[in-house]
Amino acid sequence: MSRFFLYPLALFAFHVQASSFDDDIVNALIYRTTQPVTYDGAYHKLEYPGGDVPANIGVCTDVLIRSYRQLGVDLQKLVHEDMQNNFRAYPSKRIWGLTKPDKNIDHRRVPNLQVYFERHAKVLTKSLNVEDYKAGDIVSWMLPGNLPHIGMVVNEIAQGSGNPLIVHNIGRGPEMSDMLFAYTITGHYRFVPAEYSE
């Protein structure tokens, strides 16, 4: 087989591997929208690692946590380990008065996830340009009442606006909706597990 034939095959193989994160995370996110979940951010004592609140409850962060866990990535463990080594980088003391990491709740708080992604993910522009947002991107917002929120971009496009749809839980359970530019964007990240290539 000639090297000229092998080269396109290598490019094709790289493309398939590079795009598989988008496919896998989007599938995981859309699956979340099929699960009946009541919005409930109550504190629960969790197993560690791999701990989760009961499957029938959750908040916006749990959509990300459960979707990434479907890909074999444990944000509970990652956030806890990073906070153990870099507690001062996180807002836990300033916002919640904590003096040490808490593996039961830290990863379920939007400000902590924002810091983790700022430290370990690719930080992207917070623009109002729809072209800047791709399937698999993580976006955070500030809702009225100074409430932080987080969700992820999927590969579905809203009719009319042309905006990519977001999978998130804003109080009605996991849903896919056209809300990318509905609130002030406070963060835009891309967190691809090491098992994937981009």
Question: Could you give all domains of the chain from N- to C-terminal order, each with its CATH number?
Answer: 3-190 (3.90.1720.10)
Helix (H) or strand (E) holding 184: strand 184-190
Segment 106-115, tens digit of pLDDT: 999 999 999 9
pLDDT given for residue 142 in this prediction: 99
Query: At residue 61, does pLDDT exceed 80?
Result: yes
pLDDT given for residue 65 in this prediction: 99
Range in 19-23, 83-87, 99-103, 169-173 the model is least confident about = 19-23
Name the pLDDT band for 2 (thresholds 50, 70, 90).
very low
Q: Scan for tokens 């092998």, then name that residue.
A: 6
Percent of the chain with pLDDT over 90: 88
Interval 113-126 mean pLDDT: 99
Tokens of 2: 């000639």
What DSSP character marks residue 2?
-
SS3 content of the chain, % helix, strand, coil (to 5): 40, 20, 40
Beta bridge partners of 149: 141
Rounded Cα distance, 137 and 100, in Å: 30
Rounded Cα distance, 116 and 162, in Å: 30
pTM as predicted: 0.90
pLDDT given for residue 8 in this prediction: 43
pLDDT given for residue 110 in this prediction: 99
Query: At residue 198, does pLDDT exceed 90?
Result: no
Query: At residue 16, does pLDDT exceed 80?
Result: no
Query: At residue 102, does pLDDT exceed 80?
Result: yes
